[in-house]
Amino acid sequence: MATGIVGFVVAALCCSTPVLAVLLGAVGLSAVLGYLDYVLIPAMTLFLGIVAYAIYRRQRSA
């Protein structure tokens, strides 16, 4: 469950485009910003699914 929560939080933090634009611009990778939505939204969905599955398993075993 902790893996899903941490992954979801990391993916949600990466969606803050202004912070990410500044960080990637400082490193010289600002051209990658257009492709981040193709990765971050499925990642958030995956990690949210992991959290939901962990909650389901915890309630089922109790």
Contact between 8 and 52 under an 8 Å Cβ cutoff? The reply is no
Question: Rg of the Cα trace of the chain?
Answer: 15
C-alpha–C-alpha distance, residues 24 and 26, integer Å? 5
Digit-coded pLDDT (tens) for 11-42: 777 666 677 778 878 888 878 777 777 877 78
- 43 or 13: which carries more pLDDT confidence? 43
